[in-house]
Amino acid sequence: MTVLYIEKGQQKTLNEEIEIKGIALHSGKDAEIKLKPAPVNTGIVFFRSDLDYQLKLKAEPGAVVNLVRNTTIGSREIKEAKVSTIEHLMAAIWGSGIDNLKIEVSGPEVPVIDGSAYPYYQQILAAGLKDQQEQRKIFKVESPIYAREEESYITILPYEGFKVSYTLDYQHPVIGSSYFEFDTDKISFGEEIARARTFGFAAEVEKLHEQGLALGGSLQNAVLIEEKKTVNPLRFENEFVRHKILDVIGDMFLNGRIMGHIIAVKSGHRLHVRLAEKIREKMLEEEN
């Protein structure tokens, strides 16, 4: 048996509805989300308020429809019914301790705000959380599960808690190689991980724009990297690897709360979701 369910504390949802507005990172259009309290066992569910039909998109591995520079969930039957760039928001929801939430989205993408999870995280905690009358279920990994693609890999090992160890290695003088470890019982998510911003290379901007990506990117919502320096100052000396851990957390939350030690080397959204899919397979085996 690879995964076990354990109960730990009460499920939580948002105390009151909150609204967050901003620019969408990839489309460059105005974006707005409303975070709303949800009943027990709902999980994290997205709705598109701009579509004529109310389609529920539950954040889970099987709902992922695109992994190019972001994590997008959607319907496989209705092409336009999708919500993209959810990973930073998902990480913020995980970090705040919420289990059940309805997210109403004004269009196909959530606002990027400052390129990190911190603005979402701050507003969620300011609104407050409330306990619900059902126990929280956590998926405890009991044997290794892994995914690999060429020189990149990610694995989850048994661990009494939740930890992410990430090795970043870019053939670029500004980034180079770095390593960071986040353990939820030892390090503050809000201060040490949530504030790390997404990053991009000045040399790639034109190509990304031609592909319809990063049209909303700016120095207000991303760290821009030139040949020998960053254009805007870093929040941490190793902000890049911290942001990679943020992405791992957001993508792993597609399975709800899990217990284990994730070790990742040069992984991205595609590999994260592949591991999440394998974890979900084991969960379903346990349920059946």
Dist. CA 52–CA 73, nearest whole Å: 18
Which residue in 129, 54, 58, 144 sits closest to 92, CA to CA? Answer: 129
Whole-angstrom distance, CA of residue 50 vs CA of residue 106: 6
Write out the two tokens for 189.
């998510």
Nearest alpha-carbon partner for 198 in 252, 153, 234, 149: 234
User: Quick check: is 26 catalytic?
Assistant: no
Q: Which residue's entry shows tokens 């670029």?
A: 172
Output DSSP code: residue 109: B
DSSP three-state, residue 160 = coil
Q: What residues contact residue 20 under an 8 Å CB cut-off, 6+ apart?
A: 32, 33, 34, 35, 111, 113, 119, 120, 123
Cβ atoms within 10 Å, residue 207: 11
Of the candidates 26, 88, 243, 269, the residue annotated as catalytic is 269
Long-range CB pairs of 30-33 (<8 Å, 24+ gap) are 30/106, 31/105, 31/106, 31/107, 31/109, 31/110, 31/111, 31/112, 32/105, 32/106, 32/107, 32/111, 33/89, 33/103, 33/104, 33/105, 33/106, 33/110, 33/111
Catalogue the active-site residues: 269
